[in-house]
Amino acid sequence: MVSLIALGFGTMAVFVDASSLVAAEVIRAGDGVTVANAELKDGDGPEVYDLFEGREVRRTVYAGQTITLENTQPARLVTRNQIVTIKFIKGPLEISTSGRAMGDGALNENVNVLNLQSRQMVQGIVQADGWVLAQ
């Protein structure tokens, strides 16, 4: 069983390293990888797009350059200095306030937020709608 799992991960690593997705146009840092700005080469199927769904490039990728998982990252839902909603939820109790994000964060990543009312630093987890769940 372990060898099958190891084989599966090895195959995935080889597939990811040999990416056949190239930029069809200039993709600026922070822009998402989409069917419109990336194209397949060497006759690979559309399943390659699934690997890059919800990801954005870390740095500018020029037309014709290969797009790999190493030069992409999960899409940022919260950016540094953005005003976000902070929620503390415990059972039926929900407290909401505003805060300023002290860093970037993708879905389910930790981010520090400055509570604008108390001026206290709060750490929380970025949620799908861009708000932060305080811990």
Residue 19 has a pLDDT of: 59
pTM for the full predicted model = 0.69
Q: pLDDT confidence of 47, banded at 50, 70, 90?
A: confident
CATH number of the domain encompassing residue 121: 2.30.30.760
Tokens of 7: 């084989």
Distance CA 34, CA 54 (A): 9
Residue 43 has a pLDDT of: 64
Distance CA 70, CA 58 (A): 9
Same-domain pairing of 39 and 69: yes
Q: Is the pLDDT of residue 45 over 80?
A: no
Same-domain pairing of 29 and 58: yes
Q: What is the pLDDT of residues 48-60, one digit of tens each?
A: 788 888 899 999 9
Residue 65's φ and ψ, nearest 5 degrees, are -80, 150
Same-domain pairing of 58 and 114: no
Residue 130 has a pLDDT of: 93
CA Rg value for the chain? 19
Q: Is the pLDDT of residue 101 over 80?
A: yes
Residue 113: count other Cβ atoms within 10 Å of its Cβ. 27
Find the mean pLDDT for residues 21-32. 92
Find the mean pLDDT for residues 76-93. 96
Residue 35 has a pLDDT of: 86
Q: Is the pLDDT of residue 106 over 70?
A: yes
Residues β-bridged to residue 85: 98
Residue 10 has a pLDDT of: 42
Same-domain pairing of 65 and 89: no
Same-domain pairing of 6 and 31: yes
CATH number of the domain encompassing residue 68: 3.90.1210.10
Residue 16, domain extent:
2-73
